Amino acid sequence: MTISPAPLAAVFGLQGLTLTDAERAFFKSVRPAGYILFARNIDSPSQVTALVGDLRSLTPEFEAFVLIDQEGGRVQRLKPPHWRHAPASGEFEPLHAADPAKADAMVRLNIQLIGEELKALGIDVNCAPVADVPVPGAHDIIGDRAFSKDPAIVARLGAAVCEGLWDAGVLPVIKHIPGHGRAMSDSHLELPVVTTGLDELRATDFVPFRELSKLPGLMFGMTAHVVYTAIDPQNPATTSAKVISEVIRGEIGFKGVLISDDLGMKALAGPFDERSDAARAAGCDLMLHCDGNLADMEAVARTAGPLGARGLKALADVQSRRPRAKIANTAAAEFKIIDALRHV
């Protein structure tokens, strides 16, 4: 795909339900590859659809990505009454224990329902599945957002999420690669440090990401703001060339578009232009900044650089992507999921 000049390798948030004049001028000037929506940007279906259309109108030469975190459970930006409350990933583990094939089907159906809601609004990238493997005593920032403490189950049900989103014509984001499940602190607030040995990480945390990376469809991966002392004792994965090249791209084999976790999280330090430059230099394809602070986004834009080949290919894929399946009766599908979880 040829876009000249290439879009900025950044995904930005915004402040409210509509664009401010300052945001409009900034986005039109720097031409970010994408945007991410949060609850502060959500009111009604018509408002979200209009906002997505307005964002994309700023760059008529390409259709920017629009991302959202719509995992289900406690992490979903689209909420009732306009959108369904979807179950958390962890709610499917008892069903998997009773009937693995049925759990696969219900996870896939559940996320396809979510994907169809997103697609109807013009949102084409969902920041799911969470492929982290929590360990006892870890911070609850992951908790029931994960499918299980068993990496094989996480991998299997994570694959069902990817398939269900592809069914709806939406791209998945596997997170938080190479694994946030051992973090004893919340990376929104401080930098977690994991001291587990590399062999154990390979046998547990890396497993779901390695298996999901084998899937044939295009996907995004979101980095973890976590230090793994066995790999790089100084830098979190987001800004570690060693973690990204040797583990994420190497051992795990992830070939998709790698997006940083939010550069505004307190796990990272320093000016925002330095954070963005460090993530880009380490190997991230897209720099993510979420809170809509214009001065900070301007700093990110100074060093994010142009979107590379992987990102450009993904833009082309999104523009041509169509749903590969359609749920005929959404109410019946939702009842089927609820009934399956209720009668484990």
For every residue of 125-186, DSSP letters joined together read EE---B-----TT--TTTGGGSS-SSHHHHHHHHHHHHHHHHHHT-EEEEEEET--TT-SS-
pLDDT band of residue 218 (cuts 50, 70, 90) is: confident
pLDDT band of residue 121 (cuts 50, 70, 90) is: very high
CA angle 241-224-11, nearest 5°? 85
- At 280-324, the pLDDT tens digits run 999 999 999 999 999 999 999 999 999 999 999 998 887 777 788
What Cα–Cα distance (Å) separates residue 56 from each residue in 66, 166, 210? 9, 22, 33
User: What does DSSP assign to residue 269?
Assistant: -
Residue 118 · residue 124 · CB < 8 Å: yes
Average pLDDT over residues 218-243: 97
What Cα–Cα distance (Å) separates residue 284 from each residue in 118, 166, 221, 260? 25, 23, 10, 6
pLDDT band of residue 83 (cuts 50, 70, 90) is: very high
Average pLDDT over residues 102-124: 97
Q: Which of 64-68, 154-158, 182-186 has the lowest average pLDDT?
A: 182-186
Tell whether 30 is covered by a domain: yes
The predicted pLDDT at position 261 comes to 97
Helical axes 151-168 vs 100-121, angle rounded to 10°: 40
**Model confidence at 111: pLDDT above 80:** yes
The predicted pLDDT at position 39 comes to 97
Tell whether 104 is covered by a domain: yes
Sign of the Cα pseudo-torsion (123, 37, 76, 133, in order): positive
Element (H, E) at 266: none
Residues 241, 239: Cα–Cα separation, whole Å: 6
Tell whether 2 is covered by a domain: no
Q: Which residue has the tokens 């300052």?
A: 22
Reply yes or no on whether 273 is catalytic: no
Tell whether 1 is covered by a domain: no
- Give this prediction's pTM: 0.96
Structural domain range at position 144: 8-342
What Cα–Cα distance (Å) separates residue 43 from each residue in 38, 81, 172? 11, 10, 24
- At 158-211, the pLDDT tens digits run 999 999 999 999 999 999 999 999 999 999 999 999 999 999 999 999 999 999
Catalytic residue among 54, 85, 188, 339: 188
Tell whether 278 is covered by a domain: yes
Reply yes or no on whether 225 is catalytic: no
Tell whether 127 is covered by a domain: yes
Residues 139, 38: Cα–Cα separation, whole Å: 23
Tell whether 3 is covered by a domain: no
What Cα–Cα distance (Å) separates residue 248 from each residue in 206, 230, 252, 268? 9, 14, 5, 19
Catalytic residue among 124, 205, 232, 261: 261
Q: What is the domain-level CATH number for residue 246?
A: 3.20.20.300
The predicted pLDDT at position 321 comes to 73
> Hey, is 93 helix, strand or coil?
helix
In the chain, the number of structural domains is 1
